[in-house]
C-alpha cells in the first residue's frame, strides 16, 4: 500500500508493528475452546484417508449421517501444523494470522489517509473487542478476509478489475472458513450501488461499472460453489446467518443475540462509526452505509459476529475520514518529529500492555500462554480409558465430544460440537428422555462407557442407578462410568462404587448429618478413598474438608487450603472457600493457614470478610503493621463492628492509645449490641492509657448504664489503679 499522507516512515512502521504484535499476543490464550479438537480430528481423518468424509465417521449415534463439510481446507491445514509443531505451534500459527489481519487493517486505514497513530489506536480498540473471538479455530481467517473486501471494493477502479485475484482469494477463503459468503454480499451491494448510480445519473457512474459489478458477483458466487458440499453449504451458511443453526444447544455465548448494554465497547465503536458519516458526507458512496448496516445486523443477530463487525466498523471509519485534513503533529512529519513519534509509540505500547493485563487478570478466566488450559477438558477420564485400551461406543456430554474424538480416535462418541442436523435432533430428544428409555438406548447401542460433565446432574443420576455400570473415576471436570465387566488398565484405580457419596452436583449439605451420625467413620473412609482416586481434584478435597468442618474437626482448615490450591478461582468464587476456610482456621487457632487462605482468596475477591480473616490471623502472629493494613482495607469496603473493635484493640496492643480511642469512638456512633459493649470497653481502656481519668470514668459509666452485667466492668475495676 502507498503512503497516503506525508508521515515519518520509521514512526509509522513502529506504531503499526506495536499494534500488530499486541494483536498476536492477545491471541495467545491457552486452549479452552471445545471445538478445536473436532477440527483437528476431522483434519486427521482427511489426511489419513486422502478423501473428504461424506457422512459422520466419528459418532455411533449418527453414524454416516449427512455432514455438510464447511472447513475442508482449514481442518487438514490445522492438523498438519499441529502434527508438525504440536498444539503450541498451532497457537503461534493462529496468532500470526490474527496479527497479519490487524496489520492489514492498519495499512488499509493509513491508505485512507488516517495518521498512523490514529490507525494504530483504532486497531488496538478493535483488538480488545474482537479478542474473545481470537480462539484456536479456523474462524480467525475471516478477519483478514473482511479487510480484503474493504481494500478491494473501496480501492480504485483498476483494483476492482483484478478479477483473478478476487476469485482466488474468495475461493481460498471459502475453503478455510464459510464466512466467504460476505464476498458475495459485498458484490451484491456493490451491484446495487452501481444500479442506483446509473438510475440517478450520478457523476460517480462510469461506463463499464455495471459490467464490472456483475462480473464480481458472478465470480464470488462461482467461488462459493467450489466446495465438496455444493449448494448444501450455501443453505447452511445463509440459513445460519440470522437464525441460529445450532438451535437447542444454547450453552455457548456465541450463539446468543447481541445485548448492546453487555458490550458497551462495541456499541461505542458503532456510534463512532456512524458519526463519521458526517465527515464523509460530501463524497459518500452508497456502498458505505449499506456495508455499515450489514455488519450491524449480523452482530445484532449473534455475538459471534462482533469480532468481524469490529474490523468492518473500523474500516468504515477509515473510508469516511479519507478526505479529512490532519494536523502535522499527528503525522510526525520531518526528521525533527522523530521524538514525538517515539513518545507516541511508547504511549501506545503502555496502553496495549495495560489492556493485556486487564484481559488476562485472574478473575477473567482467560489464561495467557501456550498449551491447554488446565482443568478444562476431561483428561483424567481419557487417561483411564487409554489405560484400559478402550475402543467401543462412548456416551458423552456434548461439549466433551470433540476432545474425546481427538484423544481417543479408536472410540465412537455420542455427540459433539459440529451441530449436525441429526445430532441436534438427538440432543433435543435426550433433553426429555426418562431413565428407562435412556437405559434401553445404551443397551441397544452397546455403550461401554460414559464421560459426563460434572454439571450433567441428570445423566450422572441415571448412571448411578443403572445396573451394569459403575463409577470408575471422578474429578473437577468429569465423571467416568464404565460397564462393570470392563477391565481397567494397570494404572487405573476403580472406586468400586460409593454408598454415601454423590459424585455429581455442587450440593454438599447432605454430608453434614452424616458427619455426626453413626456412619461417620465409613463416610470418612469413602471420602478419603475418593481423594486417593483423584488427588488433584478440587471437589474430592473440598468434600472431605466440608465433612471435617461439619464435625468441628481441626483438620478441616488445612483440608480447605489443600482444596483451594487445586482450583483457586473456582474455590473462591463458587464455594466461598475463603470464608469457610477462614472461619475453620481461626476457630482451630491455625493462624498461618488462615493467612494463606485469606491471601489466596483476596487474589480473586477483595471482600471485607477476607481482609478481616487476614488481619485477625496476622494479629495473632504479631504481624501488627500488616494486620492493621488488612483491618483498614476491610473497613474501606464495608463498616463492620467486629473489624473496627479488632483494629482498636490492635492499636492498644501496639501502644497507640490515641488512635485506638478515635477508632472506638467512631464505632459507637452507629453500633448496638455486643459490638457496642466491646467498643465502650475499648474506649475506657484507651482513655486510661492516655491518663484521661475523666474520659475513662465516663466510658465505664456508660458501659455500666447500658450493659449492667457486662464482664468487662470487672476487668476495668481490676485494671483501675
Q: What is the mean pLDDT of residues 204-223?
A: 87
Q: What is the mean pLDDT of residues 421-435?
A: 88
Given a cut of 80, whether residue 202 has pLDDT beyond it is: no
Q: Which residue has the higher pLDDT, 465 or 534?
A: 465
Give dist(CA 179, CA 174) in Å, integer: 7
Bridge partners of 479? 452, 474
Walk me through the domains of the chain, giving residue ranges and CATH numbers: 68-326 (no CATH), 639-721 (1.25.40)
Residue 262 backbone phi and psi in degrees, to 5: -80, -10
- Extract the C-alpha cell encoding 650: 490492635
Question: Among all chains, which residue has been given the C-alpha cell 501444523?
Answer: 81
DSSP summary character for residue 324: -
User: Three-class SS string for 281-292?
Assistant: HHHCCCHHHHHH
Given a cut of 80, whether residue 1 has pLDDT beyond it is: no
Mean pLDDT of all residues in the chain?
84
Give dist(CA 510, CA 499) in Å, integer: 13
DSSP summary character for residue 32: -
Q: Which residue has the higher pLDDT, 282 or 270?
A: 270
Question: Among all chains, which residue has been given the C-alpha cell 481519668?
Answer: 693
Q: What is the pLDDT of residues 22-80, one digit of tens each?
A: 999 999 989 988 999 999 999 999 999 998 888 889 999 988 888 888 888 999 999 99
Sign of torsion, CA 28 32 37 39? negative
Give dist(CA 451, CA 473) in Å, integer: 10
- Cα angle vertex 373, ends 370, 375, to 5°? 160
Q: What is the mean pLDDT of residues 600-624?
A: 91
Confidence of residue 3 (pLDDT cuts 50, 70, 90): very low
Q: What is the pLDDT of residues 549-563, one digit of tens each?
A: 998 999 999 999 998
- Can you give the pLDDT at residue 332? 60
Confidence of residue 489 (pLDDT cuts 50, 70, 90): very low
- Extract the C-alpha cell encoding 48: 489419513
pTM: 0.77
Q: What is the mean pLDDT of residues 298-322?
A: 88
Amino acid at each position: 500500500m502507498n503512503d497516503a499522507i506525508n508521515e515519518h516512515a520509521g514512526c509509522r512502521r513502529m506504531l503499526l508493528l506495536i499494534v500488530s504484535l499486541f494483536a498476536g499476543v492477545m491471541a495467545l490464550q491457552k486452549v479452552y475452546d471445545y471445538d478445536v479438537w473436532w477440527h483437528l480430528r476431522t483434519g486427521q481423518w482427511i489426511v489419513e484417508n486422502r478423501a473428504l468424509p461424506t457422512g459422520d465417521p466419528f459418532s455411533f449415534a449418527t453414524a454416516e449421517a449427512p455432514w455438510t463439510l464447511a472447513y475442508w481446507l482449514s481442518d487438514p491445514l490445522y492438523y498438519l501444523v499441529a502434527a508438525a509443531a504440536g498444539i503450541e505451534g498451532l497457537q503461534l500459527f493462529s496468532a500470526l494470522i490474527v496479527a497479519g489481519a490487524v496489520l492489514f487493517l492498519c495499512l488499509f486505514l493509513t491508505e485512507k489517509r488516517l495518521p498512523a497513530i490514529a490507525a494504530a489506536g483504532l486497531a488496538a480498540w478493535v483488538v480488545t473487542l474482537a479478542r474473545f473471538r481470537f480462539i484456536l479455530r479456523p474462524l480467525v481467517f475471516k478477519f483478514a478476509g473482511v479487510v480484503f473486501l474493504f481494500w478491494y471494493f473501496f480501492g480504485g477502479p483498476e483494483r476492482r478489475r483484478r478479477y483473478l485475484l478476487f476469485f482466488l482469494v474468495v475461493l481460498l477463503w471459502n475453503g478455510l472458513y464459510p464466512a466467504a459468503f460476505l464476498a458475495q454480499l459485498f458484490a451484491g451491494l456493490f451491484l446495487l450501488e452501481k444500479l442506483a448510480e446509473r438510475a440517478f445519473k450520478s457523476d460517480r457512474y462510469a461506463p463499464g461499472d455495471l459490467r464490472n459489478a456483475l462480473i464480481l458477483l458472478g465470480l464470488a458466487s462461482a467461488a462459493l460453489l467450489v466446495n465438496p458440499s455444493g449448494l448444501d453449504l450455501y443453505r447452511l451458511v445463509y440459513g445460519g446467518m440470522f437464525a441460529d443453526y445450532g438451535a437447542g444447544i444454547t450453552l455457548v455465548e456465541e450463539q446468543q443475540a447481541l445485548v448492546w448494554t453487555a458490550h458497551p465497547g462495541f456499541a461505542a465503536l458503532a456510534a463512532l462509526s456512524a458519526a463519521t458519516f458526517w465527515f464523509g458526507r460530501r463524497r459518500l458512496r452508497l456502498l458505505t452505509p449499506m456495508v455499515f448496516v450489514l455488519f450491524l445486523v449480523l452482530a445484532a443477530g449473534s455475538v459471534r459476529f462482533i469480532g468481524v463487525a469490529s474490523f468492518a466498523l473500523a474500516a468504515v471509519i477509515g473510508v469516511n475520514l479519507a478526505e479529512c485534513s490532519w494536523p502535522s503533529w499527528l503525522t510526525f512529519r520531518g526528521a525533527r518529529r522523530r521524538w514525538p513519534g517515539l513518545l507516541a509509540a511508547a504511549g501506545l505500547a503502555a496502553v496495549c500492555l495495560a489492556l493485556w493485563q486487564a484481559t488476562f487478570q485472574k478473575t477473567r478466566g482467560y489464561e495467557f500462554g501456550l498449551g491447554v488450559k488446565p482443568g478444562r477438558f476431561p483428561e483424567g477420564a481419557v487417561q483411564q480409558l487409554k489405560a484400559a485400551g478402550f475402543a467401543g461406543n462412548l456416551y458423552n456430554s456434548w461439549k466433551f465430544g470433540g476432545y474425546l474424538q481427538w484423544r481417543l480416535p479408536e472410540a465412537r462418541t455420542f455427540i459433539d460440537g459440529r451441530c449436525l442436523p441429526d445430532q441436534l435432533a438427538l440432543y433435543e430428544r435426550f433433553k426429555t428422555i426418562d431413565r428407562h428409555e435412556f437405559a434401553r438406548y445404551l443397551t441397544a447401542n452397546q455403550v461401554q462407557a460414559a464421560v459426563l460433565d460434572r454439571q450433567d446432574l441428570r445423566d450422572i443420576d441415571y448412571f448411578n442407578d443403572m445396573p451394569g455400570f459403575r463409577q470408575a473415576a471422578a474429578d473437577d471436570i468429569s465423571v467416568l462410568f464404565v460397564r462393570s465387566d470392563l477391565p481397567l488398565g494397570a494404572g487405573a484405580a476403580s472406586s468400586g462404587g460409593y454408598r454415601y457419596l454423590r459424585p455429581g452436583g455442587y450440593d454438599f449439605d447432605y454430608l453434614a448429618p452424616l458427619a455426626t451420625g453413626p456412619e461417620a467413620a465409613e463416610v470418612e473412609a469413602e471420602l478419603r478413598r475418593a481423594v486417593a482416586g483423584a488427588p488433584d481434584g478440587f471437589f474430592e478435597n473440598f468434600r472431605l474438608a466440608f465433612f471435617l468442618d461439619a464435625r468441628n474437626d481441626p483438620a478441616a482448615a488445612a483440608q480447605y487450603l489443600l482444596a483451594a490450591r487445586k482450583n483457586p478461582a473456582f474455590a473462591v468464587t463458587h464455594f466461598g472457600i475463603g470464608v469457610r476456610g477462614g472461619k475453620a482456621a481461626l476457630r482451630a487457632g491455625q493462624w498461618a493457614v488462615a493467612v494463606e487462605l485469606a491471601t489466596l482468596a483476596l487474589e480473586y475477591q477483595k471482600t471485607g470478610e477476607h481482609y478481616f480473616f487476614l488481619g485477625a490471623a496476622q494479629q495473632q502472629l504479631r504481624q501488627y503493621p500488616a494486620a492493621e493494613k488488612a483491618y483498614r482495607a476491610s473497613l474501606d469496603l464495608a463498616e463492620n463492628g467486629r473489624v473496627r473493635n479488632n483494629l482498636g484493640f490492635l492499636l492498644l496492643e501496639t501502644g497507640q492509645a490515641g488512635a485506638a480511642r478515635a477508632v472506638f469512638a467512631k464505632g459507637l456512633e452507629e453500633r448496638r449490641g455486643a459490638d457496642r459493649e466491646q467498643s465502650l470497653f475499648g474506649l475506657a481502656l484507651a482513655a486510661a492509657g492516655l491518663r484521661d481519668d475523666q474520659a475513662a470514668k465516663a466510658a465505664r459509666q456508660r458501659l455500666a448504664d447500658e450493659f449492667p452485667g457486662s464482664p468487662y466492668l470487672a476487668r476495668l475495676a481490676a485494671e483501675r489503679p
